[in-house]
Chains A and B, each alone.
Chain A
Amino acid sequence: MERFTITADLVTPAIINTLTLDGLLGAILFEALQDVDRAHAAIPLRCRDGLYHASMALPVGDAQAGQHAFIAGLRASHDLDLALIKQGKDGQPHRHLGLTRRSDFGNVMNGYKTWVAPALCWHAEGDPEQVLELLQEVEFIGKKRTAGFGQVRGWRLSESALDGVADAAGQPLRPVPLTMWHGSPDAIRADAAWRPAYWVPQHRAICVVPKGAPS
Protein backbone atom coordinates (compact mmCIF):
# COMPACT_ATOMS: atom_id res chain seq x y z
CA MET A 1 0.00 0.00 0.00
CA GLU A 2 1.46 3.36 -1.03
CA ARG A 3 0.52 6.86 0.00
CA PHE A 4 -0.24 9.05 -2.98
CA THR A 5 -2.04 12.14 -4.23
CA ILE A 6 -4.27 12.02 -7.28
CA THR A 7 -5.08 15.33 -8.94
CA ALA A 8 -7.86 16.13 -11.39
CA ASP A 9 -7.14 19.19 -13.56
CA LEU A 10 -10.45 20.95 -14.06
CA VAL A 11 -11.75 22.64 -17.18
CA THR A 12 -15.06 23.82 -15.70
CA PRO A 13 -16.35 24.52 -12.18
CA ALA A 14 -17.27 21.41 -10.21
CA ILE A 15 -20.41 20.86 -8.14
CA ILE A 16 -19.31 18.56 -5.35
CA ASN A 17 -20.11 18.13 -1.70
CA THR A 18 -18.18 15.63 0.40
CA LEU A 19 -16.75 13.69 -2.54
CA THR A 20 -14.29 11.20 -1.08
CA LEU A 21 -11.99 9.22 -3.36
CA ASP A 22 -13.51 5.93 -2.19
CA GLY A 23 -16.97 7.27 -3.02
CA LEU A 24 -15.84 8.28 -6.51
CA LEU A 25 -14.11 4.96 -7.16
CA GLY A 26 -17.06 3.03 -5.73
CA ALA A 27 -19.42 4.77 -8.17
CA ILE A 28 -17.14 3.99 -11.13
CA LEU A 29 -16.85 0.35 -10.10
CA PHE A 30 -20.60 0.08 -9.56
CA GLU A 31 -21.23 1.17 -13.15
CA ALA A 32 -19.11 -1.75 -14.32
CA LEU A 33 -20.15 -4.38 -11.77
CA GLN A 34 -23.79 -3.37 -11.04
CA ASP A 35 -23.39 -4.73 -7.50
CA VAL A 36 -22.90 -2.40 -4.53
CA ASP A 37 -21.07 -4.86 -2.28
CA ARG A 38 -18.74 -6.11 -5.02
CA ALA A 39 -18.05 -2.54 -6.12
CA HIS A 40 -17.05 -1.46 -2.62
CA ALA A 41 -14.94 -4.58 -2.08
CA ALA A 42 -13.05 -3.81 -5.30
CA ILE A 43 -12.00 -0.27 -4.32
CA PRO A 44 -8.17 -0.38 -4.51
CA LEU A 45 -7.59 1.60 -1.32
CA ARG A 46 -6.58 0.67 2.20
CA CYS A 47 -9.68 -0.01 4.31
CA ARG A 48 -9.53 -0.36 8.09
CA ASP A 49 -12.75 -1.43 9.87
CA GLY A 50 -14.78 -0.02 7.01
CA LEU A 51 -12.90 3.30 6.92
CA TYR A 52 -11.14 3.95 3.63
CA HIS A 53 -7.85 5.82 3.74
CA ALA A 54 -8.97 8.40 1.20
CA SER A 55 -9.54 12.10 1.67
CA MET A 56 -12.36 14.31 0.52
CA ALA A 57 -11.73 16.37 -2.62
CA LEU A 58 -9.51 19.33 -1.83
CA PRO A 59 -9.31 22.36 -4.13
CA VAL A 60 -5.84 23.13 -5.45
CA GLY A 61 -4.49 26.61 -6.10
CA ASP A 62 -6.64 29.72 -6.26
CA ALA A 63 -10.05 28.26 -5.46
CA GLN A 64 -13.31 30.16 -5.16
CA ALA A 65 -16.67 28.95 -3.97
CA GLY A 66 -19.57 30.03 -6.14
CA GLN A 67 -23.27 29.47 -6.63
CA HIS A 68 -25.22 28.26 -9.61
CA ALA A 69 -28.96 28.02 -9.98
CA PHE A 70 -30.91 25.79 -12.33
CA ILE A 71 -34.58 26.12 -13.08
CA ALA A 72 -36.38 22.90 -13.82
CA GLY A 73 -39.43 23.87 -15.83
CA LEU A 74 -42.46 21.74 -16.59
CA ARG A 75 -44.77 22.65 -19.44
CA ALA A 76 -47.99 21.45 -17.97
CA SER A 77 -49.85 20.72 -21.18
CA HIS A 78 -46.90 18.95 -22.83
CA ASP A 79 -44.71 17.32 -20.21
CA LEU A 80 -47.17 16.03 -17.63
CA ASP A 81 -49.01 12.81 -18.35
CA LEU A 82 -52.36 12.79 -16.57
CA ALA A 83 -51.67 9.17 -15.61
CA LEU A 84 -49.01 10.53 -13.25
CA ILE A 85 -51.48 12.71 -11.37
CA LYS A 86 -53.30 11.25 -8.38
CA GLN A 87 -56.87 10.45 -9.30
CA GLY A 88 -60.10 10.77 -7.41
CA LYS A 89 -62.84 8.17 -6.88
CA ASP A 90 -64.31 8.87 -10.30
CA GLY A 91 -61.01 8.06 -11.95
CA GLN A 92 -60.25 11.64 -12.89
CA PRO A 93 -57.45 13.82 -11.56
CA HIS A 94 -58.42 15.91 -8.57
CA ARG A 95 -57.69 19.11 -10.46
CA HIS A 96 -58.19 20.07 -14.06
CA LEU A 97 -54.74 20.55 -15.49
CA GLY A 98 -54.45 23.28 -18.03
CA LEU A 99 -52.34 26.24 -18.88
CA THR A 100 -53.91 28.27 -16.10
CA ARG A 101 -52.83 25.59 -13.62
CA ARG A 102 -49.29 25.60 -14.95
CA SER A 103 -48.00 27.51 -11.97
CA ASP A 104 -49.09 24.66 -9.67
CA PHE A 105 -46.69 22.30 -11.39
CA GLY A 106 -44.30 24.86 -12.77
CA ASN A 107 -40.74 25.93 -12.41
CA VAL A 108 -38.60 24.76 -9.55
CA MET A 109 -35.31 26.46 -8.82
CA ASN A 110 -32.43 24.45 -7.41
CA GLY A 111 -29.28 26.11 -6.09
CA TYR A 112 -25.88 24.42 -6.20
CA LYS A 113 -22.54 25.39 -4.67
CA THR A 114 -19.71 25.29 -7.16
CA TRP A 115 -15.94 25.12 -6.82
CA VAL A 116 -13.97 27.17 -9.31
CA ALA A 117 -10.42 25.87 -9.05
CA PRO A 118 -7.58 24.87 -11.38
CA ALA A 119 -7.66 21.37 -9.90
CA LEU A 120 -9.01 19.08 -7.19
CA CYS A 121 -6.85 16.57 -5.37
CA TRP A 122 -7.29 13.60 -3.06
CA HIS A 123 -4.75 12.10 -0.65
CA ALA A 124 -5.03 8.35 -0.21
CA GLU A 125 -3.31 5.09 0.64
CA GLY A 126 -3.66 2.10 -1.65
CA ASP A 127 -2.72 0.98 -5.13
CA PRO A 128 -2.09 4.19 -7.12
CA GLU A 129 -1.76 2.46 -10.48
CA GLN A 130 -5.15 0.78 -10.16
CA VAL A 131 -6.71 4.04 -9.01
CA LEU A 132 -5.30 5.90 -12.01
CA GLU A 133 -6.49 3.16 -14.33
CA LEU A 134 -10.03 3.46 -12.97
CA LEU A 135 -10.04 7.24 -13.20
CA GLN A 136 -8.31 7.56 -16.57
CA GLU A 137 -11.56 7.43 -18.54
CA VAL A 138 -13.48 9.73 -16.20
CA GLU A 139 -14.13 13.02 -17.99
CA PHE A 140 -16.61 14.63 -15.60
CA ILE A 141 -17.06 14.49 -11.82
CA GLY A 142 -19.66 15.78 -9.37
CA LYS A 143 -23.23 16.86 -10.05
CA LYS A 144 -24.68 18.35 -13.25
CA ARG A 145 -22.08 16.65 -15.41
CA THR A 146 -24.41 16.64 -18.41
CA ALA A 147 -24.60 20.43 -18.12
CA GLY A 148 -20.81 20.62 -18.42
CA PHE A 149 -19.87 20.98 -14.77
CA GLY A 150 -16.84 19.18 -13.36
CA GLN A 151 -15.06 18.55 -16.66
CA VAL A 152 -11.66 17.00 -16.12
CA ARG A 153 -8.73 17.67 -18.46
CA GLY A 154 -6.60 14.89 -17.03
CA TRP A 155 -5.48 12.95 -13.97
CA ARG A 156 -2.03 13.10 -12.34
CA LEU A 157 -0.42 10.89 -9.71
CA SER A 158 2.18 12.08 -7.22
CA GLU A 159 3.67 10.90 -3.94
CA SER A 160 2.16 12.01 -0.65
CA ALA A 161 3.14 11.86 2.99
CA LEU A 162 -0.51 11.83 4.06
CA ASP A 163 -2.59 8.70 4.63
CA GLY A 164 -5.88 10.21 3.45
CA VAL A 165 -7.34 10.29 6.97
CA ALA A 166 -5.49 13.13 8.76
CA ASP A 167 -3.30 15.98 7.60
CA ALA A 168 0.10 16.97 9.02
CA ALA A 169 -1.55 19.14 11.69
CA GLY A 170 -3.72 16.26 12.89
CA GLN A 171 -6.93 17.61 11.35
CA PRO A 172 -9.25 15.20 9.51
CA LEU A 173 -9.14 14.97 5.72
CA ARG A 174 -12.42 13.06 5.61
CA PRO A 175 -15.28 12.11 7.97
CA VAL A 176 -13.91 9.72 10.61
CA PRO A 177 -16.09 8.25 13.40
CA LEU A 178 -15.09 9.57 16.83
CA THR A 179 -14.36 6.04 18.01
CA MET A 180 -11.74 5.64 15.25
CA TRP A 181 -10.17 9.11 15.51
CA HIS A 182 -6.72 9.56 17.03
CA GLY A 183 -5.90 13.05 15.73
CA SER A 184 -6.60 16.54 17.05
CA PRO A 185 -9.24 16.58 19.80
CA ASP A 186 -10.50 20.02 18.72
CA ALA A 187 -11.58 18.84 15.26
CA ILE A 188 -15.12 19.76 14.23
CA ARG A 189 -17.68 17.07 15.06
CA ALA A 190 -20.73 16.37 12.93
CA ASP A 191 -23.28 13.71 12.09
CA ALA A 192 -21.88 12.48 8.77
CA ALA A 193 -21.67 9.46 6.49
CA TRP A 194 -18.21 7.91 6.80
CA ARG A 195 -18.29 4.92 4.46
CA PRO A 196 -19.88 4.15 1.12
CA ALA A 197 -22.65 4.18 0.09
CA TYR A 198 -22.67 7.71 1.47
CA TRP A 199 -26.38 8.30 0.85
CA VAL A 200 -27.44 5.47 3.18
CA PRO A 201 -28.38 6.99 6.55
CA GLN A 202 -27.32 3.81 8.38
CA HIS A 203 -23.75 4.63 7.32
CA ARG A 204 -23.77 7.84 9.35
CA ALA A 205 -22.17 8.37 12.75
CA ILE A 206 -20.83 11.19 14.89
CA CYS A 207 -17.58 11.96 13.10
CA VAL A 208 -14.79 14.48 13.01
CA VAL A 209 -14.97 16.31 9.69
CA PRO A 210 -12.62 18.63 7.80
CA LYS A 211 -12.90 22.32 8.70
CA GLY A 212 -13.90 23.61 5.31
CA ALA A 213 -16.06 20.62 4.48
CA PRO A 214 -19.25 21.56 2.71
CA SER A 215 -22.44 20.22 4.21
Chain B
Amino acid sequence: MSTADFFMDHFGRHFVQPTGDAWADVGRVLRGAYPMTGKKSLSRMQSGWAIVRPGSATLQLDLDIPGLQKSRLTRFEAFAAELAAWDGHAPRIFMLFDKAPNPPQAIFVSVDKRRVRICTKAGALTEDWTTHPPTVKGAKK
Protein backbone atom coordinates (compact mmCIF):
# COMPACT_ATOMS: atom_id res chain seq x y z
CA MET B 1 0.00 0.00 0.00
CA SER B 2 1.35 3.39 -0.98
CA THR B 3 0.82 6.27 1.42
CA ALA B 4 -0.04 8.63 -1.42
CA ASP B 5 -2.52 6.16 -2.96
CA PHE B 6 -4.23 5.65 0.42
CA PHE B 7 -4.41 9.44 0.94
CA MET B 8 -5.91 10.00 -2.51
CA ASP B 9 -8.30 7.03 -2.45
CA HIS B 10 -9.90 7.91 0.86
CA PHE B 11 -9.42 11.69 1.17
CA GLY B 12 -7.79 13.49 -1.73
CA ARG B 13 -10.18 12.31 -4.46
CA HIS B 14 -12.94 14.37 -2.81
CA PHE B 15 -10.89 17.52 -3.50
CA VAL B 16 -9.17 17.01 -6.86
CA GLN B 17 -9.34 14.67 -9.82
CA PRO B 18 -6.45 12.20 -9.51
CA THR B 19 -3.93 12.52 -12.33
CA GLY B 20 -2.06 9.27 -11.79
CA ASP B 21 0.90 10.91 -10.07
CA ALA B 22 -0.31 10.28 -6.54
CA TRP B 23 2.43 12.20 -4.67
CA ALA B 24 1.95 15.26 -6.90
CA ASP B 25 -1.82 14.98 -6.29
CA VAL B 26 -1.25 14.89 -2.51
CA GLY B 27 0.63 18.19 -2.80
CA ARG B 28 -2.17 19.71 -4.90
CA VAL B 29 -4.79 18.67 -2.35
CA LEU B 30 -2.86 20.11 0.58
CA ARG B 31 -2.10 23.42 -1.18
CA GLY B 32 -5.49 23.88 -2.81
CA ALA B 33 -8.29 26.31 -1.89
CA TYR B 34 -11.86 25.03 -1.55
CA PRO B 35 -15.32 26.54 -1.03
CA MET B 36 -16.52 26.94 2.53
CA THR B 37 -19.98 25.79 3.51
CA GLY B 38 -22.52 28.61 3.05
CA LYS B 39 -19.92 31.11 1.84
CA LYS B 40 -18.63 32.24 -1.53
CA SER B 41 -15.07 32.50 -0.30
CA LEU B 42 -12.43 29.84 -0.73
CA SER B 43 -10.24 28.53 2.02
CA ARG B 44 -7.18 26.34 2.19
CA MET B 45 -6.90 23.65 4.86
CA GLN B 46 -5.14 26.07 7.17
CA SER B 47 -6.53 25.14 10.54
CA GLY B 48 -8.06 22.20 12.33
CA TRP B 49 -7.42 18.54 11.74
CA ALA B 50 -8.36 15.55 9.61
CA ILE B 51 -8.38 11.79 10.08
CA VAL B 52 -8.29 9.43 7.09
CA ARG B 53 -9.49 5.84 7.41
CA PRO B 54 -10.14 3.09 4.86
CA GLY B 55 -13.40 4.17 3.23
CA SER B 56 -13.98 7.40 5.14
CA ALA B 57 -12.39 10.62 6.32
CA THR B 58 -13.28 13.29 8.84
CA LEU B 59 -12.40 16.97 8.50
CA GLN B 60 -12.86 19.63 11.14
CA LEU B 61 -12.73 22.63 8.81
CA ASP B 62 -16.18 23.35 7.42
CA LEU B 63 -15.43 23.02 3.71
CA ASP B 64 -18.19 22.35 1.21
CA ILE B 65 -16.72 19.05 0.04
CA PRO B 66 -19.21 16.19 -0.43
CA GLY B 67 -18.18 12.77 0.83
CA LEU B 68 -16.32 13.91 3.92
CA GLN B 69 -17.54 13.62 7.49
CA LYS B 70 -17.45 16.82 9.54
CA SER B 71 -16.67 17.15 13.23
CA ARG B 72 -16.55 19.97 15.75
CA LEU B 73 -14.29 18.11 18.20
CA THR B 74 -10.94 19.62 19.12
CA ARG B 75 -7.89 17.87 17.69
CA PHE B 76 -7.08 16.37 21.09
CA GLU B 77 -10.60 15.03 21.57
CA ALA B 78 -10.78 13.70 18.02
CA PHE B 79 -7.37 11.99 18.03
CA ALA B 80 -7.90 10.53 21.50
CA ALA B 81 -11.29 9.10 20.51
CA GLU B 82 -9.95 7.71 17.24
CA LEU B 83 -6.94 6.09 18.88
CA ALA B 84 -9.07 4.58 21.66
CA ALA B 85 -11.40 2.97 19.11
CA TRP B 86 -8.66 1.94 16.66
CA ASP B 87 -7.65 -1.70 16.29
CA GLY B 88 -4.06 -0.62 15.61
CA HIS B 89 -3.90 -2.41 12.25
CA ALA B 90 -6.12 -0.70 9.70
CA PRO B 91 -4.26 2.33 8.34
CA ARG B 92 -4.97 5.84 9.58
CA ILE B 93 -3.63 9.27 8.67
CA PHE B 94 -3.75 11.91 11.40
CA MET B 95 -3.23 15.45 10.13
CA LEU B 96 -2.97 18.85 11.80
CA PHE B 97 -3.29 21.94 9.62
CA ASP B 98 -1.69 25.33 10.04
CA LYS B 99 -1.31 28.46 7.94
CA ALA B 100 1.56 26.96 5.94
CA PRO B 101 0.36 23.90 4.02
CA ASN B 102 1.58 20.46 5.09
CA PRO B 103 4.22 19.24 2.63
CA PRO B 104 3.30 15.93 0.94
CA GLN B 105 6.46 14.24 2.23
CA ALA B 106 5.22 14.90 5.78
CA ILE B 107 2.17 12.67 5.21
CA PHE B 108 2.63 9.30 6.91
CA VAL B 109 0.25 6.41 7.48
CA SER B 110 -0.02 4.99 11.01
CA VAL B 111 -0.42 1.21 11.22
CA ASP B 112 0.71 0.49 14.78
CA LYS B 113 -0.34 1.98 18.13
CA ARG B 114 3.32 1.93 19.17
CA ARG B 115 4.24 4.27 16.30
CA VAL B 116 1.45 6.80 15.80
CA ARG B 117 2.40 9.62 13.46
CA ILE B 118 0.74 13.02 13.56
CA CYS B 119 1.37 14.86 10.28
CA THR B 120 2.06 18.60 10.60
CA LYS B 121 3.54 21.36 8.48
CA ALA B 122 6.91 20.77 10.16
CA GLY B 123 6.97 17.00 9.67
CA ALA B 124 5.49 14.05 11.50
CA LEU B 125 5.35 13.84 15.28
CA THR B 126 5.77 10.27 16.50
CA GLU B 127 4.13 8.94 19.67
CA ASP B 128 3.73 5.56 21.30
CA TRP B 129 0.01 5.46 22.08
CA THR B 130 0.50 2.45 24.39
CA THR B 131 2.79 4.40 26.74
CA HIS B 132 1.94 8.03 25.97
CA PRO B 133 -1.78 8.34 25.29
CA PRO B 134 -2.66 11.85 24.15
CA THR B 135 -3.81 14.28 26.79
CA VAL B 136 -5.95 17.35 26.35
CA LYS B 137 -3.60 20.30 26.75
CA GLY B 138 -4.66 23.60 28.20
CA ALA B 139 -7.68 22.18 30.02
CA LYS B 140 -8.88 24.44 32.82
CA LYS B 141 -8.74 22.86 36.27
Contacts and interface: CB of A to CB of B under 8 A. Distances in A.
Interface of A: 188-191, 199, 201-202, 204-206, 209, 215
Given A188-B112, A209-B115, A215-B124, A202 B23 contact: yes
B58 interface: no
B23 A190 contact: no
Contacts of B111: 189-191, 206
Given A190-B115, A190-B117, A215-B124, A201 B4 contact: yes
A190 B3 contact: no
B1 interface: yes
A215 B104 CA distance: 17
B112 A190 contact: yes
B49 interface: no
A189 B115 CA distance: 7
Given A201-B104, A204-B2, 6 more contacts: A188-B112, A188-B114, A191-B111, A201-B4, A209-B115, A215-B124
A205 B108 CA distance: 10
Q: Which of A191, A204, A215 has the most CB of B within 10 A?
A: A191
B109 interface: yes
B84 to A, nearest CB: 19
A191 B105 contact: no
Contacts of A204: 2-3, 108
Nearest to B127: A215
Nearest to B91: A206
B40 to A, nearest CB: 24
A215 B126 contact: yes
B48 to A, nearest CB: 22
A188 B131 CA distance: 14
A187 B108 CA distance: 18
Contacts of A209: 115
Nearest to A110: B122
Nearest to B1: A206
A189 B105 contact: no
30 contacts: A188-B112, A188-B114, A188-B115, A189-B111, A189-B112, A190-B108, A190-B110, A190-B111, A190-B112, A190-B117, A191-B108, A191-B109, A191-B110, A201-B3, A201-B4, A201-B104, A201-B105, A202-B2, A202-B23, A204-B3, A204-B108, A205-B2, A206-B1, A206-B91, A206-B111, A209-B115, A215-B115, A215-B117, A215-B124, A215-B125
